């Protein structure tokens, strides 16, 4: 008797999808170009040297009306009890 052997298309599609996913991951991990800071930074910032020339004075922030209007809604953090008095006793 002759056996009817049909080709399993579903298994072929699953294997092909797995191969595509693995090859895509390998490409993006090892071969894709890495974007540098020049690409990520906005166009208005031409170089990082411009960023290093920015003047920042904390007095302007602390003395600002909007900063002074902020309220603290939680208290200061405190150190609680760490560990047990006798670590060898049962719970």
Tell me, yes or no, if the pTM score tops 0.85. no
More confident residue, 24 or 72: 24
13 is a domain residue = yes
With respect to residue 30, please indicate whether it lies within any of the assigned structural domains: yes
Question: Residue 35 belongs to what domain range?
Answer: 9-68
Check pLDDT > 70 for residue 13: yes
Whether 78 is covered by a domain: the verdict is: no
The verdict on residue 31 lying in a domain is yes
Count how many domains the chain has.
Answer: 1
Tell whether 90 is covered by a domain. no
% of the chain at pLDDT higher than 90: 31
Phi, psi of 9 (to 5 degrees): -70, -30
Identify whether 83 is part of a domain.
no
């Amino acid at each position: 008797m002759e056996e009817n052997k049909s080709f399993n298309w579903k298994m072929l599609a699953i294997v092909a999808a797995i191969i595509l996913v693995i090859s895509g991951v390998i490409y993006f991990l090892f071969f894709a170009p890495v974007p540098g800071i020049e690409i990520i930074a906005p166009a208005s910032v031409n170089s990082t040297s411009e960023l290093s020339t920015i003047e920042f004075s904390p007095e302007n922030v602390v003395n600002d009306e909007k900063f002074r209007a902020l309220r603290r809604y939680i208290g200061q953090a405190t150190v609680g009890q760490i560990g047990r008095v006798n670590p060898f006793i049962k719970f």
